Structure 1
Amino acid sequence: MRKLIEAQAQPALFKPGVGHSVAHESACKHVSGSAQYIDDLPLLPGLVHVATGQSIHPHARIILLDIRAVRAAPGVVDVIVQRDIPGEVDVGPVYGGDPLLAGDLVEYIGQPLFAVAATSLEAAQRAVKLARVEYDILPAQLTVEDALAARSFVLPEHQLLMGDPDSEIDKAPHRLQGEIYVRGQEHFYLEGQISQAQLTEDGGIHVISSSQHPSEIQKLVAEVLDLPLHLVVAEVRRMGGGFGGKESQAAPLACMAAIFAKRLQRPVRYRMPRRDDMVQTGKRHDFLNRWRVGFDSDGHILGVDMLLAGKCGYSPDLSEGIVDRAMFHADNAYFLRSARILGVRCKTHTVSNTAFRGFGGPKGMMAIESLIEDIARHLGKDPLDVRKLNLYRPGADETPYGQKIEQHVLQDLIARLELDSDYRVRREQVTRFNQTHRYLKKGLALTPVKFGISFTAKHLNQAGALLQIYTDGSLMINQGGTEMGQGLYTKIQQIVASAFGVSVERVIVSATRTDKVPNTSPTAASSGTDLNGMAAKDACDRIKADLIGFACEHFQLSTEQIVFANNRVQLGRESMSFPDFIKLAYLNRIPLLATGYYRTPKIFYNRDTAKGQPFLYFANGAAVSEVTLDTRTGEYQVNRTDILHDVGKSLNPAIDIGQIEGGFVQGMGWLTSEELLWDDKGRIISNSPANYKIPTAFDVPADLRVALYHEPNLENTIHLSKAVGEPPLMLGIAVWAALRDACSSTSGYRFSPRLDTPATPERVYWALQECAAFNACQAQEVDRA
């Protein structure tokens, strides 16, 4: 505390850039309430608000849609149906299948049928209830099992194949099979889906959106309005959370607002109330994972055959890449000598599921982690020992999709965490505790994470930036990444400050806009800093090269004699302040603006052969979690979690640790408390904060320890750092594994019960009952013997 007080008392002189724990650029604005989100913007004169009328059936043909009473409702300014859309009707991000408004067919409960613009949101919401709709109800597929039985898929299946898994499984000394159902997850961002649109004087549209993908907003708005792209500007300053939910599914709101703005010549705001958001927007995919595995008596995996079936909803959305990602991560940290991994994309008459932090990776990892634990219990081993035995290592380093692991950190990282967390001592303590307590049981688990970094769609692995230096020595950088609280703007600020040796407050990152940097990729796939940071650095390097060339000529110096540091420019034995040097450069007509560009090298993937290198590198981590559960009720607490995570050379340790903590807690919520449920009519039950439970401060482990694993990236990433957005989410698997470990302890660790996720107290209780049934069966066998 004394050090903190002393640091605060010192005058603010030079705030360093890369490698330092600089505060988030909007931290003060966040806590003071001055950070502006879209719904905080002043209401423009004539602004109207939007609501939509929704289908009440999951699959039906519309026989009658009577909206006369809607048009006559108080406050209503305009009503549109599908035929009123001036351009493209479909707003699917990759493939078709996502009409902005339904035509004759509806395919999920909540699908928009028509849209209303009114003088207030309340008036719009009241009006949509006045429509008269008649339906011809059609059969609906509501579950993964329904889709598998009907062989109904939104896209063709895809398979990874390595070796001859059937033969290896058949001749293996031991064989097991199993399955786990892994439910999805609601994004539950603090700021819901929202967009605002207004006309520009040249007949174009300016859209302000809470979106992770401004260029997609620009493209789809242009298409629905039948405008060229240069007449549409999409802008994003910040989001109140995204987590993937605003990668593709922010676009319909922007398109709807833009249509009304064009029709009415008035500004339009479309904000979804929380319940509409939870009904009408997609979630993380449910997955049904099935496997067969053959292994030896030590626990080496010899062959594995997996089916990963994703619940995609009614349309493809981003499901191709999501299920691919699940397949690419079905190995997690383990070398599979011989494997078949089949991914299927199941069509159901439910809302179209979409990106969520980790994309499909977490779902694939749950398959292999379940399988590993089953092997361990079958052989009477500690699951950690089976995990360590199967880790990637030199000589056992090829993935099922043909990519070689180049940087081997997993063995050392896990060994270090095992030692630092006192895993072996605590394992003995947990065993003794369980032997001496009748109703309370403890569980302990250490699980690894290996996560590939890059978009699996190759063309998205590119970024641009625009840097401007003003004559007072201040700098403005614009780039294609969006800020959703994760600290991207702060890291870009640090990268630019470091390039010129100036304090970070000299640099401002302006709102992401498509008229500044075009054709941007979404801020997703953990690539925001990797891509945009390198583009920003490229812009810096271009200006800096011109400045150094000028200084060499003007001061008759060599390049080695020119150093940018501490807000000054060292010029041989003399030095100038950075602003004075920039002013001198301007007077000598040296360009003080530049664009930067970056594209990820090395990556490729051949879908026909299912082989390639889809990732530039891998980020790694591991977590140890300890839990205590009550066998009478299934209730539990997470007592302690230790995390060691690989971030390369950290750009900002404080922000990285915050991302790791937040990712872990969100992953823990996905696997324990956040239960997505639909009724047998296809209506979502978990549609509000009252019946969908995200983790609270009381759920966070009382003892949470996070450390960074310091080893520079072998790849030439931005300052040799590694991405930290998505990989930490999968550290939460340790909590699920610890709960399963506690359940298994009731069988003397001889049996591994099924524990579908989320592992709510009810599901934990059912797993305990399964263990009790196993014990009874074993007792009967002893009696018969």
Structure 2
Amino acid sequence: MKNVDSKSHVRGESVYLDDIPLINGTLFACVYDSPVAHGVLKSVEIEEAEKSEGVVRVITAKDLIGDNEIGNIFHDEPLFADEEVHFQGMPIALILAETEEQARIAAKKITVEIKPLEIVTDPRLAHAKNDLIVPPKHFKLGDSEAAFKASKYVFEGRADVNGQEHLYIETQGAYCVPTEQNGIKVYSSTQGPTAVQRCVSRVTGVPMHLIEVDVQRLGGGFGGKEDQANAWAAMCAVGTQLTKRPVKYALHRIEDMRMTGKRHPYSADYKIGLDKDLKILAYEVVFYQNAGASADLSPPVLERTLFHCTNSYFIPNVTATAYSCRTNLPPNTAFRGFGGPQGMFV
């Protein structure tokens, strides 16, 4: 198969989101995000930001025409924090200004009052509180209880697998342009154009057939731009809808790392039984998935963990249970392997 992009890549001619020529009148966006991981959002003071040089509009949840919701599998993820903040980095307001620098300066002038609530980052603690994204998932093969009784050797332990940052070279971002009949054209760095289209439609209230999503190419994704690209496209689309002007937002690296989800961290308890010849007879495992603050793609990732929990071995007797635990971290998401590596590691 011929790589049609190789020549333009090495020449620096390939066009990514940040290379798209800007239309005259384009506004630049910047998010003001929660400085704390969990709390009740008592007030948001945007007056000073609105007076800041170059600022055209400051948008919060109350300004949305459509639904304040970007969750895909489950509707449990607001675009902007409204009543509570659920993780440090959760968007609270969007600043639109004539230049990127002006938007970032204005964002620093926003102040919030947040009543602190308990912060949970350990999935085992979330499980103890029964704070789960979905009911537990199970995989069972044979009779592990009887097989352990017949095992010569039995080992038990705990395994912990940390998260992982996608670190795609091109950060998250979007560029939205108003079109005829109140439509919106969305340039998005996404692995799921239809997911972006559906999300933008829900948040703006604009029918899907009036939303065009253009994805020229991605500067890396690895799963991190399946669902997580939706938020930035929705924010820019809302800005375009309310101002009737093009809106662009390309996240800085630290913003991206602070506000987006990673590979899911897992904690697990395991028990394995072997016969006298060290052949594996039985295996039991309980997985505690750290889903973060909302579902995102955690349920199918959890199921994939169960599919791969015996690694490359055939084990005749298996009992596996997996819990998707809600914590106060950015919603974790797809990453290459999609839950398989965490299951295989244990």
Q: Normalization by structure 2: what TM-score?
A: 0.98
Distance 2:252 2:99 in 1: 13
Q: CA deviation at 1:247?
A: 0.1
User: 1:59-80: CA deviations, max 9, x gaps?
Assistant: 1001121110010111111111
Aligned mate of 1:145, from 118, 124, 131: 124
| Alignment partner of 2:79 out of 89, 96, 100 | 100
Aligned: 1:164 with 2:106: no
Quick check: 2:227–2:333 contact (8 Å CA) kept in 1? yes
Q: How does 1:392-471 map to 2 (within 5 A)?
A: none
Give distance in 1, aligned partners of 2:182 and 2:46.
30
- Tell me the equivalent position of 1:285: 264
Matched to 2:190, the amino acid is S
Give the counterpart letter for 2:159 in structure 1: I
The offset of 1:23, in angstroms, is 4.1
* Letter matched to residue 136 of structure 1: K
CA distance in 2, matches of 1:113, 1:136: 15
Q: Deviations over 1:639-666 (max 9, x none)?
A: xxxxxxxxxxxxxxxxxxxxxxxxxxxx
**1:305-384 map, 5 Å:** 305-367=284-346
- Identity of aligned pairs, percent? 35
Counterpart in 2 of 1:67? 46
Q: For 1:231 and 1:172, how far apart are their aligned partners in 2?
A: 63
Determine whether 1:213 maps to 2:213: no
| Alignment match, 1:238 | 217
Once the 2 structures are TM-superposed, how far is the Cα of residue 219 of structure 1 from its aligned partner? 0.8
**3-state DSSP of counterpart to 1:289:** strand
In 2, Cα distance between equivalents of 1:211 and 1:264: 24
SS of the residue corresponding to residue 3 of structure 2 reads coil
SS at the partner of 2:187? strand
The match for 1:187 is 166
Describe the superposition over 1:2-58 as per-residue Cα deviations: whole angstroms up to 9, x where unpaired: xxxxxxxxxxxxxxxxxxxx4421001111000000111112100011111111111
Q: Which residue of 2 aligns with 1:119?
A: 98
CA positional deviation for 1:228: 1.4
Are 2:38 and 2:119, in contact at CA under 8 Å, matched by a contact in 1? yes
Give 1:149 deviation, angstroms: 2.8
Consecutive unaligned residues in structure 1, runs of 5 or more: 1-21, 368-785
Q: CA deviation at 1:196?
A: 0.6
SS at match of 1:278: helix
Amino acid at match of 1:329: H
**In the alignment, is the contact (CA less than 8 A) between 2:286 and 2:321 conserved in 1?**
yes
Matched residues, number: 346
Distance across 1 between alignment mates of 2:11 and 2:233: 28
Greater relative contact order (CA < 8 Å, ≥ 6 in sequence): 2
One-letter amino acid of the counterpart of residue 340, structure 1: T
1:274 correspondence with 2:253 = yes
Q: Is the 8 A contact 2:186 2:211 kept in 1?
A: yes
Give 1:145 shift: 2.8
Identify which range, 194-203 or 162-171, moves more after superposition: 162-171
Distance in 2 (alpha carbons) for counterparts of 1:111 and 1:59: 10
Q: Secondary structure at the match of 1:154?
A: coil
Counterpart Cα distance in 2 of 1:253 and 1:94: 18
Instruction: Provide the C-alpha distance between the structure 2 equivalents of 1:97 and 1:272, rounded to a whole number of angstroms.
Output: 24
Alignment counterpart, residue 254 of structure 1, candidates 202, 210, 233 = 233
Q: Which amino acid aligns with 2:7?
A: C
User: CA-to-partner distance for each residue in 1:552-606, whole Å, 9 max, x for gaps?
Assistant: xxxxxxxxxxxxxxxxxxxxxxxxxxxxxxxxxxxxxxxxxxxxxxxxxxxxxxx
> Could you tell which deviates more after superposition, 249-258 or 137-146?
137-146
Question: In structure 1, which of residues 55, 79, 84 is the aligned counterpart of residue 58 of structure 2?
Answer: 79
Aligned counterpart, 1:571: none
Q: Deviations over 1:278-301 (max 9, x none)?
A: 000000000112211111121111
Tell me the residue number matched to 1:174. 153
Pair 1:43 & 2:25 matched: no
Tell me by how many angstroms 1:225 deviates.
1.2
Inter-partner Cα distance in structure 2 for 1:246 and 1:202? 29
Does the 8 Å CA contact 2:150/2:275 hold for their aligned counterparts? Answer: no
* CA–CA distance in structure 1, aligned partners of residues 3 and 59 of structure 2: 42
> Which residue does the alignment assign to 1:752?
none
- TM-score (normalised: structure 1): 0.44
Q: Is the Cα contact below 8 Å between 2:142 and 2:316 reproduced in 1?
A: yes
TM-superposed CA distance for 1:143, in Å, is: 1.3
Residue aligned with 2:67, SS:
coil
Quick one: distance in 1 between partners of 2:208 and 2:21?
Answer: 27
Q: Which residue does 1:129 correspond to in 2?
A: 108
Following superposition, the deviation at residue 214 of structure 1 comes to: 0.3
Counterpart-to-counterpart distance in 2, 1:122 and 1:328: 47
Contact residue 56 and residue 97 of structure 2 kept, 8 A: yes
Indicate the SS of the match to 2:9. Answer: helix
Aligned with residue 222 of structure 1, among 194, 201, 204:
201
Structure 1 stretches (4+) deviating beyond 3 angstroms? Answer: none
Name the structure where strand makes up a greater proportion of residues.
Answer: 2
Q: Which residue identity does 2:308 align to in structure 1? A: H
* Deviation per residue, 1:286-332 (Å, 9 max, x gap): 01122111111211111110111110001111000001101101112
**What is the identity, as a one-letter code, of the residue corresponding to 1:170?**
K
For the 8 Å contact 2:124–2:288, the answer to whether it is kept is no
CA contact (8 A) 2:69 2:202 kept: no
Q: Match of 1:639? A: none
Letter in 2 for 1:246: K
- 2:152–2:273: 8 Å Cα contact kept in structure 1? yes
RMSD: 1.0
Pairing 1:27–2:1 present: no
Instruction: Give distance in 2, aligned partners of 1:346 and 1:121.
Output: 37
- After superposition, the C-alpha distances for 1:387-445 in whole angstroms (9 at most, x for unaligned) are xxxxxxxxxxxxxxxxxxxxxxxxxxxxxxxxxxxxxxxxxxxxxxxxxxxxxxxxxxx
Deviation of 1:203 (Å): 1.5
3-state DSSP of counterpart to 1:156: coil
> What letter is aligned with 1:69?
E
Structure 2's unaligned 5+ residue stretches are none
Q: How big is the shift at 1:150?
A: 2.1
Equivalents in 1 of 2:31, 2:203: separation in Å? Answer: 17
TM-superposition CA deviations, 1:332-371 (whole Å, max 9, x none): 211110101111101111111000011001111101xxxx
Q: Rg bigger for which structure?
A: 1
Match of 2:242 in 1: 263
SS at match of 1:97: coil
Q: Which whole-Å CA distance do the structure 1 matches of 2:35 and 2:278 have between them? A: 51
Deviations 1:112-154 (A, max 9, x none): 1111111111111111111121111011111123213323211
